[in-house]
Amino acid sequence: MKFASSRRRFLLAGATAGGLLLGYGLFKPRDLLGTGNVFPVSGDEVALNAWLKIDNDGILTVAVPRAEMGQGVYTALPMLVAEELDIAWENVRVEQAPIASVYGNIVTLVDSSLFDTHDHGWLAGGMRWTLARSARALAVQVTGGSSSVRDAWLPMRTAGATARDMLIRAAAVRLDVAPEALSARDGMVVDSESGRSLAYGTIAAEAALLPPATQVTLRPSASYRHLGKPRPRLDIPAKTNGSAEFGIDIHDENMLFAAIRHAPVLGGQIGDVDLAAIEARSGVVKALRMDDAVVAIGKTWWHAENSLRQTQIEFIDGPYASASSASMAAACAKALDANDGFGHENKGDALAQLGAADVIRADYQVPLLAHACLEPMNCTVRIDAGGAEIWCGNQAPDILRKLAADHLGIDAENVVFHSPLLGGGFGRRAEPDAMMRALKIAATLRGQTVKLVYSREEDIQHDMYRPAVASRFAARLDANGRISAWHNHIASPSVTQAVVGRMFPSLPLGGPDKTNAEGAAFLPYDVPHRRVEHTPVPSPVPVGFWRSVGHSYNAFFSECFIDELATACATDPIEFRLRHLQERPRERQVLTLARNLSDWSAPLAENRARGVALHESYGSIVAQVAEISLVDGRIKIHRVVCVIDCGQVVNPDIVIAQMESGIVYGLTAALYGDVKVADGRIQQWNFPDYRMLSMDEMPVIQTHVVESGAAPGGAGEPGTPPIAPAVANALANLQGVRQRRLPLKSESHKLT
């Protein structure tokens, strides 16, 4: 496969891969590489470009510009380089990439296009082209949207292929043969005719002096040695032996520790507080008052936290003291009744078709959800005359560094920003709040390293939550049991505007937000008349990105309503879906495999039922079948069969692990997740009242990975959206009553 520079070729490629193949034609190969001086070297290492370096022993070290938060990017992304460079996996290492424009994530911005990813028209292609150009200019180094492999697919393979070419040309000079006579194999450049060979490490310095080629050929899939194979994860040994460093592990000998107590009411402020009394307590060095929080700084974190627990703090309620879950639900209902949302999808004339009496209607709801990362929010900062040094687990290092520099009034180059491993991200660590708090604390103790750690209670009660959302459906079935018209109206806060607004409050925001309708608009089912719209609803609660974002709730809404329609025409739910997927072969294959692997038609034991859901997100198609029962008054998930088509598979073990991870995360939300608000206060405090799925509740999960040959899709998030509707559909089959609100209850209940 070679790079082509024509605009027409790019538009075709962009349309074919939904914006994935952006490098072909939009950027020259050299644009994707960066230069070797971007990637820091030590000892005898030599950087051949911004993505890789090689030492004298032939050890390859790959720069990974995305955050490793358990999803496997420290393994999947190096595999892309190792494949093209043709090197043994045991000789591959990984380092977190520095902050540099070459590492900007293009796919995340391209994904924000309001067009269907399956739209191959010139207008959709032009929008992706424009967004890609903008993304290249902005060069935001963000991790999210299951984009890591999709975005790295071209630049990191190109980096490996270009380095291979440079090594071959350097070896040709050394061996005095034509480059065409040589090949790269297992970390060596080999002259097959003479049998002579040179190890990469012995010629890396000479190769680095050569200009990169203007055109390189990527390896064909038939010759893949690493891609598609279950290579061991590079981050597991350190996580197993305890040497892995997360943000909460940062430590130096003279470090101080900060604990924080936020005003409990949303938008509340701090009233009277005796800071001197806090500072008088054992082990406490300093106490600070912020507008909406009190901070204690101590010799240990417990000294600081315990001093706050013993302190009487007056809190001023602020403007949202009357906010409640009920008032937010009422606001969503009012927005739905207004029926004036922005149309994210308009096909045919759905509203006119739904004017008759034979219309099936349903309203669905989901509550607020917290992220509840295993590692609570934390940040370590040291500020001195020369600038600042920050250690913070994050999903957007360049944005956080800029915010820190702006806050301190210094150049970004004077902020040394470290990105340690993340003990869970799920969108929460794209937020700058913990870092901004830590900066304010450290500014009062210049020259001193200070680590701020949120308690679990502060972490859950002061999150950026997945929003509470309401969704209304109306549909008609024709005489053949096919959906003839579909209308879906969603009411929720705009997550993207909330996140960007917190980071850049002076930036004018407005217009439609695709994240609100993703997973609802452009469903794969063939429906001649379809309208999907969204109405933004102001929220007193700060909302943010949550694993799979809009897909996480819209899949629940849409796939449950699909089951309702199947029931209305007395059709098997899988057959009903297949009836509407005649033009979508990948979806048909995934769903058919799920039916076969789950023994869908086999008889079930008494008090058991199965449910199915199909959903596409981030370029991947996932079908899940859940088998459940009611045991001792609880919903018991016995088995989940998961089939995923994520296109070209990089590491099947990682894909399977991420499906399992996404299912666990989704099951927790489906069965227990419910953040309630009363009198302006978050009511949940810790894991006893914000439950996680426990080990004894873990179902058997069987995952099948389809190798379709399509462009790579995401894996970190697509496993989450289908599980809630699969369980809800199984529960409806078991009980004969449809529950349209999460979390699901073992007893039948009406929508509230």
Kindly report, residue by residue over 259-306, the tens digit of the pLDDT: 999 999 999 999 999 999 999 999 999 999 999 999 999 999 999 999
To 10 degrees, the CA torsion angle through 365, 366, 367, 370? Answer: -170
In this predicted structure, the answer to whether residue 624 has a pLDDT above a threshold of 90 is yes
Q: What average pLDDT score do residues 406-420 get?
A: 97
Q: Model confidence over 61-86: pLDDT tens digits? A: 999 999 999 999 999 999 999 999 99
pLDDT confidence bin for 30, thresholds 50/70/90: low
Question: Can you give the residue ranges of every domain in the chain?
Answer: 34-105+141-237, 247-318+377-453, 325-369+465-735
Percent of the chain with pLDDT over 90: 92
Give the containing element (helix H, strand E) for 578.
helix 573-579
The answer to whether 429 and 67 have CB atoms below 8 angstroms apart is yes
For residue 27, what pLDDT is reported?
58
For residue 509, what pLDDT is reported?
84
* 280-285 contacts, C-beta under 8 A, 24 or more apart: 281/306, 281/307, 281/310, 283/307, 285/256, 285/445
Architecture category of domain 34-105+141-237 in CATH: 2-Layer Sandwich (3.30)
For residue 547, what pLDDT is reported?
98
Q: What is the DSSP letter of 540?
A: S
Tell me what the pLDDT averaged over the chain comes to: 94
Q: How far is residue 132's CA from residue 22's CA, in Å, rounded to a whole number?
A: 7
N residues, the chain: 752
Phi then psi dihedrals of residue 338, to 5 deg: -65, -30
For residue 31, what pLDDT is reported?
74
**Under CATH, to which class is 325-369+465-735 assigned?**
alpha beta
Phi then psi dihedrals of residue 588, to 5 deg: -60, -45
For residue 98, what pLDDT is reported?
97
The end-to-end CA distance of the chain, in Å, is 56
Q: For residue 538, what are its two tokens?
A: 């102001």
Cβ neighbours of 319 (radius 10 Å): 12
**Four-residue CA torsion sign, 588, 591, 594, 596:** negative
Q: How many helices (H) and strands (E) does the chain have?
A: 23, 27
Instruction: Give yes or no for a cis peptide into 743 (omega within 30° of 0).
Output: yes
To 10 degrees, the CA torsion angle through 472, 478, 479, 481? Answer: -60
The answer to whether 94 and 61 have CB atoms below 8 angstroms apart is yes
In this predicted structure, the answer to whether residue 479 has a pLDDT above a threshold of 50 is yes
Q: How far is residue 497's CA from residue 47's CA, in Å, rounded to a whole number?
A: 39
**Which carries the bigger pLDDT value, residue 602 or residue 25?**
602
pLDDT confidence bin for 24, thresholds 50/70/90: very low
Q: For residue 201, what are its two tokens?
A: 């490490």
Q: Model confidence over 548-579: pLDDT tens digits? A: 999 999 999 999 999 999 999 999 999 999 99
pLDDT confidence bin for 356, thresholds 50/70/90: confident
Query: Which amino acid, residue 588?
Result: R
For residue 321, what pLDDT is reported?
97
Q: What average pLDDT score do residues 104-110 get?
A: 95
In this predicted structure, the answer to whether residue 21 has a pLDDT above a threshold of 80 is no
In this predicted structure, the answer to whether residue 749 has a pLDDT above a threshold of 50 is no
Q: What is the pTM of this model?
A: 0.94
For residue 747, what pLDDT is reported?
80
Cβ neighbours of 189 (radius 10 Å): 27
In this predicted structure, the answer to whether residue 6 has a pLDDT above a threshold of 90 is no
In this predicted structure, the answer to whether residue 610 has a pLDDT above a threshold of 80 is yes
Query: Could you tell me what percentage of the chain is helix, strand and coil, using 3-state DSSP and rounding each to the nearest 5?
Result: 35, 20, 40
In this predicted structure, the answer to whether residue 646 has a pLDDT above a threshold of 90 is yes
Q: Which of 172, 450, 130 is nearest to 299 (CA)?
A: 450
Percent of the chain with pLDDT over 70: 95
Q: How far is residue 530's CA from residue 560's CA, in Å, rounded to a whole number?
A: 17
Residues sharing a CB contact under 8 Å with residue 207, sequence separation 6 or more, in sequence order = 46, 48, 163, 166, 167, 169, 170
- Domains 34-105+141-237 and 247-318+377-453 in one fold: yes
Bridge partners (DSSP) listed for residue 60: 54, 92
For residue 17, what pLDDT is reported?
35
In this predicted structure, the answer to whether residue 739 has a pLDDT above a threshold of 50 is yes
Q: What average pLDDT score do residues 93-111 get?
A: 96
DSSP string over 584-602: -HHHHHHHHHHHHHTTTTS
For residue 618, what pLDDT is reported?
98
**Under CATH, to which class is 247-318+377-453 assigned?**
alpha beta
| 3-class DSSP assignment, residue 412 | helix
Q: Model confidence over 453-478: pLDDT tens digits? A: 999 999 999 999 999 999 999 999 99
